[in-house]
Amino acid sequence: MNVLRSIDDIRSQVRQWRQAGLRVGVVPTMGALHKGHLSLVEAALLGCDRVVATIFVNPLQFGPADDFRIYPRDEATDARKLDEKGCHALFAPSEAEMFPDGITALKDFKTVVHVSQLTEGLCGAFRPGHFDGVTTIVAKLFGIVQPDAAYFGEKDYQQLLVIRRMCRDLNIPVEVVPVPTVRESDGLAMSSRNQYLSPEERHIAPLLYQTLRGVAERLTAGDDKLDSTLSNARRALLDAGFTKVDYITAADVETLEPLESLKRLKSGARVFAAAWLGQTRLIDNVPAT
């Protein structure tokens, strides 16, 4: 596997592949790779002739209170995992390569990609500017790598829809491919931030998935008392030891509009939650219909 750090080098590599008539896929990551990330690489290898993984801890998507400085970084281990999976290239640029003007704060960035509506609820309501940081850096990566397809996990379902919408609205010729959430044996969605959890918190964490599944099962069975079902689910998480629940809600799978009842269902529903265990924020979602 080639490890490339400059924009010129990754463009040159992809250009050679394209000239050979090969289909190129990209897996954008911030490193600290786990089985969830590697499942994206596996999906890309099935759908493409050549696969590029990117590792870049993006400062634009972190707020002032977020964990940018302590976000886990272990490029050597990540590179080994990617190589063992058969990834063809790793693009791991420096901040200086991605931001030659030295601007790494979203508020100071001169060009920002903003997707409206889809970013207003769920995590967007609790992390102002986060999705602008995501879409701006992903647009840059797409422009640099110029892939045919990009692979994103359904654990970050809102992000998946936002990036898909960005590509549609800006006519970016990249197929955005969803990949199902990979979970631990007890149901906890795999995340780089899971390593922040203490042993006690790790014991509690799978209850988030279990609670979401319970809500989804009630909705699938035709439960029309959505408000009380969600309220009870929130209380169950807090009683179990979660320190704060940002949201737990059911929403339309395409618009992310909250469902007031099953009568408003348009294209299917998912149940979404974001909750805190100590200093660690966990997100998850499951299909409801």
91-107 pLDDT tens trace: 999 999 999 999 888 99
Taking Cα atoms as reference points, which of 200, 273, 275 lies closest to residue 243?
Answer: 275
Q: Please report, in angstroms and rounded to a whole number, the separation of the first and last CA atoms in the chain.
A: 41
Measure the CA–CA gap between 108 and 110, rounded to whole angstroms.
6
What global pTM score does this model have? Answer: 0.95
- Would you state the pLDDT for residue 261? 56
If one counts the domains in the chain, the total is 2
- For 50, the 3-state DSSP assignment is strand
Q: Are residues 132 and 223 in the same domain?
A: no
List, by residue number, the catalytic residues: 37
The boundaries of the domain holding residue 137 are 2-179
Judgement on whether residues 246 and 135 belong to the same structural domain of the protein: no
What is the 3-state composition of the chain as percent helix, strand, coil, each rounded to the nearest 5?
45, 20, 35
pLDDT cut 90: percent of the chain above it: 86
Looking at residue 121, its pLDDT comes to: 95
Query: Phi, psi at residue 52, to the nearest 5°?
Result: -110, 125
Q: Which residue has the higher pLDDT, 69 or 244?
A: 244
* Phi and psi at residue 209, to the nearest 5°: -65, -45
For the segment 8-31, the average pLDDT, to the nearest whole number, is 98
Report for 39-53, 56-70, 208-222, 256-270: range of highest mean pLDDT: 39-53
Two structure tokens written together for 257: 């509009």
Identify whether residues 57 and 104 lie together within a single domain: yes
Structure-block tokens of residue 74: 């272990």
Does 162 lie in the same domain as 199?
no
Q: Do both 208 and 123 map to the same domain? A: no
Helices within the chain (DSSP H only)? 7-19, 35-47, 75-85, 95-98, 123-126, 130-145, 157-169, 199-204, 207-220, 226-240
Domain-embedded: residue 185: no
Q: Final residue of a domain: which of 147, 179, 211? A: 179
The answer to whether the Cα torsion of 159, 165, 166, 172 is positive or negative is: positive
Residues 101 and 41 in one domain: yes
* 183 pLDDT higher than 90: yes
